Amino acid sequence: MSVINIGLCGLGTVGTGVLKILENHKEEIKHKLGSDIIVNKILVNDIHKPRNEEIDPDKLTTDAEELVSNPDVDVIVELMGGIDDTNLLLEKALRNKKHIVTANKDLMAVHGQKLLQTAKENKCDIFYEASVAGGIPILRTLTDGLASDRIRKIMGIVNGTTNYILTKMTDEQLAFEPVLKEAQELGFAEADPTSDVDGLDAARKMTILANLAFKMEFSLDDVEVTGIRDITQEDISFAENLGYTIKLIGITAIHNGKVELSVEPVLLPTEHPLAQVKNEYNAVYVDGEAVGETMFYGPGAGSLPTATAVVSDLMEVVKNIRLGISGNAHVGPQFETQLKENHEKHMKYFLRMEADDQAGTFQAITNIFTDEKVSFAKILQLPGSEKGTAEIVMITHKISKQQLVNSLEQLKNLAVVNRMISYYRVDGEE
């Protein structure tokens, strides 16, 4: 086909970037593909809304049927967001033999496996590189570049908003709330920041990465999620004094065929590459059996970085159309999904508690940890915030999560412990 017609769903930040790249890189794209890519129809909410770009008003529509049922449209590029309604729309497009390119991580985390299967049944492609880490080509790296390897572990900063907030809290010694407000004013955080700061956005992305890395089928419910709202300046300061930086990290790892999958604040050694990733940037750290440790770094959002990933996927669709191999990219899960139990998850932990500053307190606390066979790499004891109290900070040696849970439960019932202030995973030292 000398011309490929696309239907563009959504003309926001990324949609506008896609139009810009298709126009500005038109000749290079045609040279690489041997085909022109033409935007046939654009689905918008309001045709009459003022727009910065010069767009032919005849291409605008508020009726999705003009895209998904249009015989002149070959590919649907979905950039409008949404989950269930968007899923129904794309299912219909696939049944109408239209290929899909999407940047919708929420959709792919919830309905991705079914959409991929529907695409295969209809000999269509569906690509979604831009759904994780914006302009970083991490999905294609897992499916193509590292296809011959066995992935052992992925650790990622995959949410720019939380990384921006934690960077400001760390570098400028600021509290969470004022930094969040600044991030909202700068456009890094939404008016409702729940999805970002509570870790849900990162969890959706880690679901997608785990599905690809371990050839199993995971859902959002399989991810253990803890956000950053409770991280204090004191936590950050103690971590720094012990040689660590706190980041919101998505982690998925496999051992003996079982997978752990989480998004949580993690203490990383200050010299770890992920600890050096600042502001709104993303990075994904991949450990493969053959390749060893690699890291992929770049802008995790933004108009042109994300649009670059979208257009690259679009070009892949066009190549497959020209080669006559559409619909063969997706390979279903190879293994039954197996998640680790708490007693199978082993890691170090940072613990911070307030206790009575009196004789016998430390002995009572250590007795509990001794009973659970928990030992420590580092211990600090400092005066507490209230008179007659002490603050105790510990870094454990590697223990199971079950040992941690058991220890915390017993500490709750210990009279000399006033409160468990915080506890975080420690990783990246192996």
Helix H, strand E, coil C: the string for 326-343 is: CCCCCCCCCCCCCECCHH
What amino acid occupies position 337?
Answer: T
Q: Report the distance separating Cα 348 and Cα 23, nearest Å.
A: 51
Flag whether 308 is in a domain.
yes
The encoded tokens of residue 251 equal 């982690």
Q: How many helices (H) and strands (E) does the chain have?
A: 14, 17
Same domain, 18 and 85: yes
Report the CATH number that the domain containing residue 407 is assigned in CATH: 3.30.70.260
- Which of 266, 288, 323 terminates a domain? The answer is 323
82 with 19, same domain: the answer is yes
Q: Are residues 163 and 282 in the same domain?
A: yes
- Number of domains within the chain: 3
Asked if residue 127 and residue 12 are part of one domain, the reply reads: yes
Judge if 97 and 161 occupy the same domain.
no
Domain co-membership, 309 together with 398? no
Q: Is 334 inside any structural domain?
A: no
Which of 288, 323, 358 represents a domain boundary (last residue)? Answer: 323
The answer to whether the CB of 117 falls within 8 A of the CB of 330 is yes
Three-class SS of 38-65: EEEEEECCCCCCCCCCCCCHHHEECCCH
Residues 154 and 121 in one domain: no
Would residue 126 count as lying in a domain?
yes
Given its phi and psi angles, is residue 388 left (phi above 0), alpha (psi -120 to 50 degrees) or beta? left
In a 13 Å sphere around the CA of 399, the CA atoms on its Cβ side amount to: 23
Same domain flag for 41 and 92: yes
Residue matched to tokens 């949410």 = 159
CA angle 46, 50, 56 (to 5 degrees): 80
Catalytic residue annotation:
205
Note the pLDDT of residue 95.
Answer: 97
What is the CB neighbour count within 10 angstroms for residue 89? 21
pLDDT at 1: 61
Q: Is residue 328 part of a domain?
A: no
pLDDT (tens digit per residue) in 300-313: 878 889 999 999 99
38 inside domain = yes
- Does one domain contain both 155 and 273? yes
335 occurs within a structural domain: no
- Which residues are bridge partners to 8 per DSSP? 42, 77
What pLDDT was estimated at residue 301? Answer: 79
Amino acid code (one letter) for 203: A
Q: Percentage of residues in the chain with pLDDT exceeding 70? A: 99
In a domain, 254, yes or no: yes
> Average pLDDT by consecutive 10-residue portion of the chain (430 residues)?
91 93 95 94 91 84 96 97 96 97 95 95 95 91 93 96 96 94 86 94 96 95 97 95 96 97 98 95 96 93 89 96 90 91 97 94 93 94 87 96 97 94 93
Q: Are 293 and 311 members of one domain?
A: no
**Would residue 184 count as lying in a domain?**
yes
Q: Report DSSP letters for 11-36, one per residue.
A: -SHHHHHHHHHHHHTHHHHHHHHSSE
d(CA 170, CA 166): 6
Residue with tokens 């011309």: 3
Pair 352, 268 in one domain: no
**93-121 confidence digits (pLDDT tens):** 999 999 999 999 999 999 999 999 999 99
- What pLDDT is stored for residue 164 in this prediction? 94
Q: Taking the C-alpha atoms of 89, 94, 97 and 99 in order, what is their torsion angle to the nearest 10 degrees? A: 100
Q: What strands lie across the sheet with 99-102, from one edge to the other? A: 60-61, 36-43, 3-9, 75-78, 99-102, 126-127
- The last residue of one of the domains, among 264, 298, 332, is 298
Same domain, 192 and 289: yes
Q: Which domain holds residue 109?
A: 3-134+303-323
